[in-house]
Structure 1
Amino acid sequence: MRGTPGDAGAPAAWARELLDLLRPAGRDARRVVDWLAGTAEAEVSLQDAAGTLLAGTRLPLDASLVAALRSGRIASAAWEGEGRHLRLVRIGHPSGVCVLAVSRRAPFDRHTADVVTHTAQVIELLLAAHETTAAGHRLQRATADLRLAILQLLMVEDTVAARRVASGLWPGLLDADTACVFVVESAPARRERLVAECLDTTRDEALVVRCPAMDGHVIVVSPRAATASELRSLVGRHPGTFLGGSVWESLARTATAYGQAVSALAVARFRADKTAVYAERTHPELLMDPAALRGWAGRVLRPLDTLSHHTRAELLATTRLGLEFTAVNTAKILGVSRNTVRARMERVETMLGTDFDDVTARALVHLALHTQINLLDGQAGSDPDAASPGLAGLLDGPAVGAWARELLGRLDHDTRNVRRTLRTWIAAGGNAERAALTLGVHAQTVREHVRSAEPVLERQLLAAGTGLYEVVLAHLAVGELEHPVLTTE
Structure 2
Amino acid sequence: MAGREGGNRQQEAPGEAGAAWAEELLEHLRPAARDVRRVVSWLSGAVRGSVALQDAAGNLVAGTRIPLDEGLVTDITSGRIASAAWEGHERHLRLVRVEHPSHACVLAVSRRVPFDRRASDIVTQTAPVIELLLTARESTAAGLRLQRATSDLRLAILQLLMVEDTVAARRVAAGLWPGLLDADTACVYVVESDSAVRDRIAEECLDSIREDALVVRCPAMDGHVIVVSPRDTTGDALRSLVGRHTDTFLGGSVRQSLARTATAYGQAVSALAVAHFRPDKTAVYAERTHPERLMDPETLRAWTARVLHPLDALPHHTRAELLATTRLGLEFTAVNAAKVLGVSRNTVRARMERVEALLGTDFADLTVRAVVHLALNTQIGLPDTPCARTTGPRGPRLSDLLSGPARTWAQNLLGRLDADARNPRRTLRTWIAAGGNAERAAQALGVHAQTVREHVRSAEPVLERQLLAAGTDLYEVVLAHLLVGDLDLPVLQRSG
Distance 1:350 1:438 in 2: 29
Distance 2:201 2:422 in 1: 40
The alignment partner of 1:152 has SS state of helix
Deviation at 1:56, TM superposition (A): 2.0
1:19 has 2:26 as partner? yes
Distance 1:183 1:138 in 2: 25
Distance 2:317 2:14 in 1: 79
Distance 1:4 1:213 in 2: 64
Flag the 1:70–1:318 CA change in 2: closer, same or farther, 3 A: same
* Cα deviation 1:366-416 (Å, max 9, x = unaligned): 111112225x599x999536988744453332x434533443344456565
Distance 1:250 1:422 in 2: 34
Pick from 432, 451, 474 the counterpart of residue 426 of structure 1: 432
1:447 has 2:440 as partner? no
- Give the aligned partner of residue 465 of structure 2: 459
Pick from 86, 89, 94 the counterpart of residue 101 of structure 2: 94
- Give the aligned partner of residue 170 of structure 2: 163
Query: Is this contact kept in 2: 1:294–1:381, CA < 8 A?
Result: no
Pick from 30, 34, 42 the counterpart of residue 35 of structure 1: 42
- Give the aligned partner of residue 190 of structure 2: 183
Distance 1:377 1:299 in 2: 13
134-143 or 146-155, which deviates more: 146-155
Flag the 1:481–1:265 CA change in 2: closer, same or farther, 3 A: farther
Distance 2:70 2:33 in 1: 32
Distance 1:411 1:78 in 2: 90
- Give the aligned partner of residue 212 of structure 1: 219
Distance 1:5 1:72 in 2: 38
1:80 has 2:83 as partner? no
Flag the 1:114–1:100 CA change in 2: closer, same or farther, 3 A: same
Amino acid at match of 1:332: K
Pick from 321, 324, 328 the counterpart of residue 317 of structure 1: 324
Paired residues, number: 486
Distance 1:140 1:244 in 2: 26
- So what's the TM-score if we normalise by structure 1? 0.90
Amino acid at match of 1:483: L
- Give the aligned partner of residue 437 of structure 1: 443
Distance 1:192 1:288 in 2: 44
Query: Is this contact kept in 1: 2:36–2:130, CA < 8 A?
Result: yes
Distance 2:12 2:74 in 1: 30
- Give the aligned partner of residue 5 of structure 2: none
Pick from 167, 172, 180 the counterpart of residue 179 of structure 2: 172
Deviation at 1:468, TM superposition (A): 0.9
- Give the aligned partner of residue 137 of structure 1: 144
Query: Is this contact kept in 2: 1:266–1:460, CA < 8 A?
Result: no
Flag the 1:69–1:456 CA change in 2: closer, same or farther, 3 A: farther
The alignment partner of 1:317 has SS state of helix
Amino acid at match of 1:404: A
- Give the aligned partner of residue 129 of structure 2: 122
Distance 1:60 1:107 in 2: 18
The alignment partner of 1:212 has SS state of coil
The alignment partner of 1:429 has SS state of coil
- Give the aligned partner of residue 232 of structure 1: 239
Give unmatched runs, 5+ long, in structure 2: 3-9
Distance 2:395 2:246 in 1: 50
- Give the aligned partner of residue 295 of structure 2: 288
Query: Is this contact kept in 1: 2:306–2:395, CA < 8 A?
Result: no
Q: Give the alignment's Cα RMSD to 1 decimal.
A: 2.7
Pick from 300, 303, 306 the counterpart of residue 310 of structure 2: 303
Deviation at 1:247, TM superposition (A): 3.0
Give unmatched runs, 5+ long, in structure 1: none
1:336 has 2:346 as partner? no
1:71 has 2:81 as partner? no
- Give the aligned partner of residue 367 of structure 2: 360
Distance 2:402 2:273 in 1: 25
Flag the 1:453–1:96 CA change in 2: closer, same or farther, 3 A: farther
Flag the 1:192–1:272 CA change in 2: closer, same or farther, 3 A: same
- Give the aligned partner of residue 373 of structure 1: 380
Pick from 473, 481, 484 the counterpart of residue 475 of structure 1: 481
Distance 2:212 2:119 in 1: 56
Query: Is this contact kept in 2: 1:77–1:88, CA < 8 A?
Result: yes
Amino-acid identity (%):
74
* Cα deviation 1:17-63 (Å, max 9, x = unaligned): 11112222221111111111111122212222222222222222222
Flag the 1:242–1:412 CA change in 2: closer, same or farther, 3 A: farther
Deviation at 1:482, TM superposition (A): 2.2
Flag the 1:171–1:107 CA change in 2: closer, same or farther, 3 A: same
Query: Is this contact kept in 2: 1:267–1:460, CA < 8 A?
Result: no
Query: Is this contact kept in 1: 2:309–2:391, CA < 8 A?
Result: no
* Cα deviation 1:91-119 (Å, max 9, x = unaligned): 11112222111122333222222211121
Amino acid at match of 2:245: H
Distance 2:220 2:65 in 1: 46
- Give the aligned partner of residue 394 of structure 1: 401
Deviation at 1:134, TM superposition (A): 0.9
Distance 2:129 2:391 in 1: 80
Flag the 1:110–1:362 CA change in 2: closer, same or farther, 3 A: same
Flag the 1:388–1:59 CA change in 2: closer, same or farther, 3 A: closer
Deviation at 1:140, TM superposition (A): 0.5
Distance 1:6 1:230 in 2: 61
- Give the aligned partner of residue 192 of structure 1: 199
36-45 or 179-188, which deviates more: 179-188
Query: Is this contact kept in 1: 2:191–2:251, CA < 8 A?
Result: yes
Distance 1:80 1:305 in 2: 82
The alignment partner of 1:13 has SS state of helix
Distance 2:471 2:11 in 1: 71
* Cα deviation 1:49-93 (Å, max 9, x = unaligned): 222222222222222221211111111111112122211111111
Equivalent runs, 1:344-355 vs 2, <5 Å: 344-355=351-362
Deviation at 1:456, TM superposition (A): 4.1
Distance 1:480 1:270 in 2: 33
Amino acid at match of 1:187: D
